[in-house]
Amino acid sequence: MEKAANATLNALKHPYQTVRNKLRHSKVLASLWRQLMFRTTVIAVSGSVGKTTCRELIYEILKDRGPTYKTRNNENDLWSLPAVLLRIRPWHKYAVIEVAASGPGTLEELARLVKPDVSILTAVARTHTRTYDSVEQLAHEKSQLVRHMRRRGQAILNGDDEHVKQMAQLAKAPAIFFGGGGDNHIRGTNINADWPEPMSMQVHYADGDSLPIQTQLLGAQWRNSVLAALATAEFLGVPRAGAVAAIARVKPFRDRMQPVSLPNGAVMVRDENGSIDVLNAMLQVVDSVRHQRRILVLGDMTDLGHMNSRKRLITIGNLVADRAEKIIFVGEHSHHAEKAAIKAGKDPADVMAIDNFVDTHRAMVAMIQPNDVVFIKGQTTQHLSRLVFSQLGEIGCKRNRCNIRSDCDICPHLHANYDVTAKINSNVWVHLQHPADTQPEKIAVGDH
């Protein structure tokens, strides 16, 4: 069977196959292959925010419980997910698959291919607003992952999100809910995510048990990703203390609020999810920084309805004007954000608009001082992570925009004079009061 799957993957790379034929053939073969992998528990993770980090957390929990496969990089759409399924092997006990909606009807097609044993929905938020007319339409799209589970499938849902909670009606078995509300099966309270501390919280289970958990993730927005992973572990019979310890080992995924230390002692936090909702989550972390100078480097954002770029950038400029000591807006139309920030009260000496990558890099080199905290965020096509890489060494790619969907870390066009992945991983900065490998102390609810 393994030889058949490898032959299929190689056939799909044949240069004489048209794109349409490749997609059609890959979907048919992936559907057949999924039926053969009936012994593998397939866990599908979707949601507007937090799905990649949730995937990483679940993988870390399960990998010591048996051979576990996970989606690589960002292979989560209709074009790449068939190949993901074809990489599952008969000896894999678990497969953790990330599934993304890329247009009306696409997620239903993917759900029919994946046929999850466990479906996880982290949230429905203002993402894909150019693709879907409303949040309700997006929620209907996401619900297909629950509708098309296998016969004994288990839904694990965000009980604080009404759009997600309603999806429980599509599941044949009672859903497991997570969140902050008291009616959830697994809930998180007493969240601490103020800079420089990564997020910690108290986790409560339906049977009254309670555990403290310390993560390495920046920001309270990761609560639901953590709780969804713990709910999955609970359903699959993983001991609670072991699941908590596994989560404590997971470092921030690249481009997801990943803090990187610079040689001069400054820290750069990079995030390339261009959704306005995710920007608000980043700003909560920015607001918590004390006794350090804050610098915001922002590109354009998405998911502000059907606003044109001018109106979007004016909105962003107003939103961030008083959130940092220094602000750099990056992009062709960034002057709209600069003018809005100045109009909102920002000193013109503390804000600038730059329309290209090279000048942005030079401005940052001149601006960043020891002990600064620099937050970088923009649309995926701007690839602002390169502003981090260019602080650590030489890179060849200086494009202002790029439609390549892969992360710059693994892009062959980056042309860095150093190993980017190794350098970034060695420079990931996490401030922990409690080491991640410390076994958490179990406490009873009544003692808390």
Q: Mark which of 248, 267, 283 sits at the end of a domain.
A: 248
Q: Mark which of 199, 227, 248 sits at the end of a domain.
A: 248
Contact 118, 153 (CB under 8 A): yes
- CA nearest neighbour of 188 among 164, 163, 220, 217: 220
60 within some domain: yes
- CA distances to 115, 321, 352 from 347, in Å: 55, 9, 10
What is the pLDDT at residue 381?
85
440 within some domain: no
Same domain assignment for residues 283 and 235: no
Q: Is the pTM of this model over 0.85?
A: yes
Same domain assignment for residues 103 and 149: yes
Specify the CATH number for the domain of residue 338.
3.90.190.20
- CA distances to 29, 96, 189, 270, 362 from 260, in Å: 41, 27, 28, 8, 19
437 within some domain: no
279 within some domain: yes
Q: Does residue 340 have a pLDDT over 80? A: yes
Same domain assignment for residues 242 and 268: no
Provide the percentage of residues in the chain whose pLDDT is more than 90. 71
Same domain assignment for residues 187 and 287: no
pLDDT digits (tens, 9 = 90+) for 44-60: 999 988 999 999 999 99
Secondary structure class of 273 (helix, strand, coil):
coil
Q: Does residue 99 have a pLDDT over 70? A: yes
69 within some domain: yes
- Confidence bin at 432 (pLDDT 50/70/90): low
Single-letter amino acid code for the residue at 15: P
Same domain assignment for residues 224 and 293: no
Single-letter amino acid code for the residue at 228: A
- Confidence bin at 379 (pLDDT 50/70/90): confident
How many domains does the structure of the chain reveal?
A: 2
Phi, psi at 126, each rounded to 5°: -80, 65
Specify the CATH number for the domain of residue 41.
3.40.1190.10
19-36 vs 2-11: helix axis angle to the nearest 10?
Answer: 170
Secondary structure class of 156 (helix, strand, coil):
strand
Same domain assignment for residues 113 and 51: yes
Same domain assignment for residues 36 and 143: yes
Q: Which domain holds residue 280?
A: 258-427
Same domain assignment for residues 40 and 150: yes
Same domain assignment for residues 267 and 191: no
Same domain assignment for residues 32 and 155: yes
Contacts of residues 177-181 at CB distance under 8 Å and 24 or more positions apart, as own/partner, are: 178/224, 178/227, 178/228, 178/230, 178/231, 179/224, 179/227, 180/223
Same domain assignment for residues 276 and 389: yes
